[in-house]
Amino acid sequence: MGTRPLSGVLDVRIVLFLALLANSADLVATAIGIHLFGNREGNPLLAGIAHEHWWVFVVIKGLLVPLLIWRLHAMRSRSPVVASAGLAVVLVVLTVAVGQWMGWIAGVLRVAYFPV
């Protein structure tokens, strides 16, 4: 009839949720890496802030970035292609960042605690 299928709306909401989840996982991984293992922030724009002004970094990464992700999600009615592509890029970048951290920490733990 005149109803719109929900699959497109649900897909975008799932991507929004995954992007926010990946950002949160990245923040936690960064905190563990910096404070427990002496790692460095990989984003050159945030590296200085992460190491010298921790709470400012947490506000930016934990509040400002999710607000920007939400704003991108809200743009989908005016510019659906740009909003969807932007959310996809954010999701991929944050997922890769968390994946790289997991690979790094696996190597650190393997070398430090499980010698071959």
What integer pLDDT is reported at residue 3 of this predicted model? 54
Judge if pTM exceeds 0.95: no
Nearest to 25 by CA among 73, 60, 62: 62
- Residues 6 or more apart whose Cβ sits within 8 Å of residue 58: 27, 31
Q: Is 6 helix (H, G, I), strand (E, B) or coil?
A: coil
- Give the integer Cα–Cα distance in Å for 107 and 58: 26
- Give the integer Cα–Cα distance in Å for 24 and 1: 40
| Cβ atoms of residues 66 and 94 within 8 Å | no
Q: Is 71 exposed, middle or buried (0-12, 13-18, 19+ CB in 10 A)?
A: exposed
Predicted confidence (pLDDT) per residue in 10-37, tens digit: 677 888 888 899 899 989 989 988 888 8
Query: Quick check: 110 pLDDT over 80?
Result: no
